[in-house]
Amino acid sequence: MSRYDFAAQRLYVDAPLGRGARIALSREQANYLLNVLRLGAGDSVIVFNGRDGEWRAALADTGRKSASLDIEEALRAQEAGPDLDYLFAPLKHARLDYMVQKAVEMGAARLRPVLTRRTQAQRVNTERMRANVIEAAEQCGILTLPQIEEPRPLEKALAEWPQDRLLIFCDEDAPMADAVAALRARAQPGAPLAVLIGPEGGFDPSERAMLMGMGQTLAISLGPRILRADTAAVAALAVVHAAFGG
């Protein structure tokens, strides 16, 4: 039997969850459930808020443009995911959407845009990022929404780097080796980790020197091919999964 009921509609709500609570849905959520999915009063919806676990709810007070949910039954307790930061040079529009969604699916706890000297997209729409985070979490059974940080220069992020967080630097110039074995040799399951994906033009030599000069850096190769940044993101996070799960 599947661990999750993928046939049930799953919805993120920004409200406390508990048995007997009634939650008013936003106009957009009500329209989606009532007019797109054609659900009616009494139909079940699975809800989560990123804090109180996952609950089964029933549609109530349905109107043409409004609806509420009655919280009925706890399904899953809130889980603590991996302590994984995902640092990335912003991309444009659809490719950034894809990268954010995949980072959520693969367990990132924090999304940290960093501006490098070759970053092409200097502006980041954090509201759009949040919408993509919620959509990915709703579709993939994820309980905890990653934090979204404001963009900051890479140099500042590295200058304040904590001593206990290993930084996995996906370096196209790193020697070909077993990335999973290299990661297991440097960190234990549950240890604080971070994955860094650079811009499409690669890192500036001074940035590479800064990264390689840090004792917390582990440079790994993602294979013999040069990957696009959004593809590299999936490959790098897959290495973390292969090493430690989560």
Q: What residues does each domain of the chain span?
A: 10-76, 84-244
pLDDT attached to residue 146: 95
- Could you tell me the two tokens for 169? 């630097």
> Of 202, 210, 207, 199, which Cα lies nearest the Cα of 173?
202
CATH number of 10-76: 2.40.240.20
Pairing outcome for strands 147-148 and 110-115? parallel
Cβ burial, residue 104 (10 Å; 0-12/13-18/19+): buried
Buried b (16+ CB within 10 A) or exposed e, 63-74: eeeebbbbbeee
- Over residues 232-240, mean pLDDT: 89
pLDDT confidence tier of residue 1, bands split at 50, 70 and 90: very low
Q: Same topology for domains 10-76 and 84-244, yes or no?
A: no
Domain 84-244: which topology? Answer: Alpha/beta knot (3.40.1280)
pLDDT tens by residue, 206-235:
999 999 999 999 998 887 777 888 888 888
Pairing outcome for strands 22-24 and 68-76? antiparallel
pLDDT attached to residue 3: 58
pLDDT attached to residue 224: 75
pLDDT confidence tier of residue 2, bands split at 50, 70 and 90: very low
Query: d(Cα 61, Cα 239) in Å, to the nearest integer?
Result: 47
- Over residues 24-53, mean pLDDT: 92
pLDDT confidence tier of residue 246, bands split at 50, 70 and 90: low
Pairing outcome for strands 147-148 and 44-48? unpaired
Query: d(Cα 157, Cα 195) in Å, to the nearest integer?
Result: 13
pLDDT tens by residue, 51-101:
999 999 999 877 777 899 999 999 999 988 889 999 998 888 788 899 999
Write down the mean pLDDT value for the chain: 89
How many degrees, rounded to 5, is the angle at CA 191 between CA 189 and CA 197?
Answer: 105
